[in-house]
Structure 1
Amino acid sequence: MSLSYPHRGHTALRVGGACVLLALAGCSNGGNGSSNDTTPATTSASSAPNTSNTGAAHITIKNFTFSPANLQVHPGTKVIVENQDSVTHTVTATGAKAFDTGDIDAGETATFVAPSTSGSSPYICTIHPNMKGTLTVS
């Protein structure tokens, strides 16, 4: 069964009407009753380095390199590690083994929690020990 022109017209009208409604909703003033509201929007930014709005810090593995190689976080910060390489890597603290992601397959992510005490923890990829970084907790 094929659609005749009148059916196509009704569909086009419905789609067009939905677009108009969405456009009007996007232009609304949020229902505050004032169209002259000049109050500036407020934003907040995290003061912790290399963190997103979720409070987590990020390490990216790409081209057999940790980025950033030196990451500073607060005690107990969640650290998300994203492996953008085509091979498996780890993020493993040397010495006291304060953290270890285990194997992170290509294209996957892993998380760990930064130590609860201040200090620096050098880390490596145990599969590729030439890959090095430092996590500083302060």
Structure 2
Amino acid sequence: MPRVPLKVALPAAVLILAAGGCSSAAVQSTPTPATPPSTPSAPSSPGPPSARPSAATAQIVIDNFAFSPANLTVHAGESITVVNHDSTTHTLTARPGSAFDTGPVNPGQSATFTAPATPGTYPYVCTIHASMHGTLTVH
């Protein structure tokens, strides 16, 4: 058998050992916890409307310094997402009063608030741009 110079043999041995380490690492795996068997859920009674969480989500889009739709009707407790498509920050704030307020919604961002529990008509404005206004009607 021919003699292999030490300069070649040593790097080759390192590569072989490294490759062996990689392959053994691939064999070793972290056990994945078993998924518990699914159990049938108990039938749920819907309960009174005030006790049920609302699954619906309404949306108001801010674009070109206007709320769309400007007048929105929702159910008490419904989630409302406000999406800002403008190039500047806006708010959607109940006026008068403090029934809801998104706080500043930056360009390209959104905020979500919950409609008041008390039915009624709630005027709102952008506190940064007073010419922007609308009405939230809660049933």
Give the shorter-chain TM-score range.
0.5 to 0.7
1:97 deviates by 1.4
4+ residue segments displaced more than 4 Å? none
1:8 is matched with none
Q: CA RMSD in A?
A: 0.7
CA distance in 1, matches of 2:58, 2:121: 15
2:72 is matched with 71
Letter in 2 for 1:66: F
CA distance in 1, matches of 2:97, 2:90: 20
Equivalent positions of 1:29-40 (< 5 A) are: none
Equivalent positions of 1:1-138 (< 5 A) are: 55-138=56-139
CA distance in 1, matches of 2:97, 2:126: 15
Report the structure number with the largest CA radius of gyration: 2
2:21 is matched with none
CA distance in 2, matches of 1:94, 1:82: 20
User: What TM-score, normalized by structure 2, do the two folds share?
Assistant: 0.60
CA distance in 2, matches of 1:71, 1:107: 21
CA distance in 2, matches of 1:133, 1:97: 15
1:96 deviates by 1.5
Structure 2: state its 5+ residue gaps.
1-54
Number of residues of Structure 1 aligned to a counterpart in Structure 2 = 85
CA distance in 2, matches of 1:96, 1:106: 26
CA distance in 1, matches of 2:98, 2:63: 23
Letter in 1 for 2:67: F
Letter in 2 for 1:91: L
| Alignment deviations for residues 4-40 of structure 1 (CA, whole Å, 9 cap, x no partner) | xxxxxxxxxxxxxxxxxxxxxxxxxxxxxxxxxxxxx
1:115 deviates by 0.1
CA distance in 2, matches of 1:124, 1:89: 9
Structure 1: state its 5+ residue gaps.
1-53
CA distance in 2, matches of 1:85, 1:119: 29
Q: Secondary structure at the match of 1:87?
A: coil
